[in-house]
Amino acid sequence: MVDISPPQYTYTKRGVFYFSKSVPTDLRHHYVNPRIVQSLKTKSQAQARYASQKLLSRLDDYWLSLRLKEIEIPAAHLLRHAPSQNPESVLPTIVDALELYHRIKGENRKKTFFTHSKRSVNYLIQSIGCRSLDQYSSADAASFRDWLRNRGLSTGSIQRNFTSIKAMVSFTINELGLDCRNPFSGVYLAPETDTQKRQPLSVEQIRTLQRHCYEKDDDVTWLVALISDTGMRLAEAAGLMMKDLILDSPHPHVVVTPYPHRSLKTKASERIIPLVGASLWAAQRLSENADYDFCFPRYTNKRRCNSNSASAAINKWVKSIAGEDIVIHGLRHSFRDRLRAVEAPSDLIDQLGGWSLQTVGQSYGNGYAIAHLFNWIKKVEL
């Protein structure tokens, strides 16, 4: 016989089937209405029967998960990191916050964005445990700070970890409209006094370094030489493509532009820098040996620019020539000092170095022309 009884938990209105089920008493505080009513959007009894069974099954699973969240944590007294507040919290955990932070804010971000934030959360879980956001207290945050210090992290590293944790917790609270505070805000962090300032190279040190570049004459020394008279950041130079070197011009120059394999630090970093001295020599040597689209295929391919690898190898060589306290980034500091010494305008210096604009007025117009930039940079050629 054909079953003509209406599907369970359904009724019809104008021939359309509706699902109707009362919310269990112990779960009604989660809902704004005590009964769930939802159109099944069908006039077919067979389809309505199937849809209502599926809907009921999903509801039963969800209600079970709500009940499990609300029961007291089994053997909570045995936990190494038992929360001191809100033990029955159902808010997202710090791992949930990390996942949301990565999913929404991670678009077009570098790999370091994900690795740094994940490392910070792993540190927090190791020191205090994985909890709901409202289960962390200010005392827990202070304990986390002390744990990082005892682990041997520098003041700067502790600050960076706290900055990462604070950012993702604040983002999750605001994004989901949670009714809790950020316990990692307001925790005292000692000022960063253990950072050694990068030292600029003296003119004599730069001359010595450039002389060794001419003598060694390989791709690594071309990279160093290219930076020495342009002040480029290491990643900017290592990620250059051959088409960025414009040598058949009255004013030879390099174009610093973003690529999928290498982004730029700021919008102001996108610029043109005239080539003179050792930097012009390096660009010419690269052009003469152009076997690839990339200037430095040792460090760069279509997927990424491995500037960390370049930094490790180059700094070791630079230290052996210029001194143990010298690193490749010191050439960028020296570049600014050299331009100051010839009394170049500050906004021109910012344009050449790709430093962020200091005033709104600096963003007006197209900036200094290549010929003007070339005249000033010639004054610092060694």
Q: What is the pLDDT of residue 224?
A: 95
pLDDT of 78 strictly over 60: no
SS3 helix, strand, coil % of the chain, rounded to 5? 50, 10, 40
Percent of the chain with pLDDT over 70: 91
Average pLDDT over residues 359-365: 55
pLDDT in tens, 287-324: 998 888 999 999 999 988 988 888 888 999 999 998 88
Q: What is the distance between the alpha carbons of residues 53 and 250, in angstroms, rounded to a whole number?
A: 78
pLDDT of 366 strictly over 80: no
- Whether 142 and 187 have beta carbons less than 8 Å apart is answered as yes
Average pLDDT over residues 217-224: 94
Lowest mean pLDDT among 7-21, 180-194, 366-380: 180-194
Average pLDDT over residues 199-217: 92
Average pLDDT over residues 172-199: 81
Q: What is the distance between the alpha carbons of residues 161 and 117, in angstroms, rounded to a whole number?
A: 8
Beta pairing class for 253-256 and 10-13: unpaired
- Return left, alpha or beta for 191; rule: phi > 0 is left, psi -120 to 50 is alpha, else beta: beta
Please state which CATH number belongs to domain 203-378: 1.10.443.10
- Whether 229 and 278 have beta carbons less than 8 Å apart is answered as yes
- B/e letters for 39-65, b = 16+ CB within 10 Å, e = fewer, are ebeeeebeebbebbeebeeebeeeeee
Q: What is the distance between the alpha carbons of residues 117 and 110, in angstroms, rounded to a whole number?
A: 12
pLDDT of 350 strictly over 80: yes
Q: What is the distance between the alpha carbons of residues 292 and 118, in angstroms, rounded to a whole number?
A: 36
Average pLDDT over residues 141-151: 91
Q: What is the pLDDT of residue 351?
A: 92
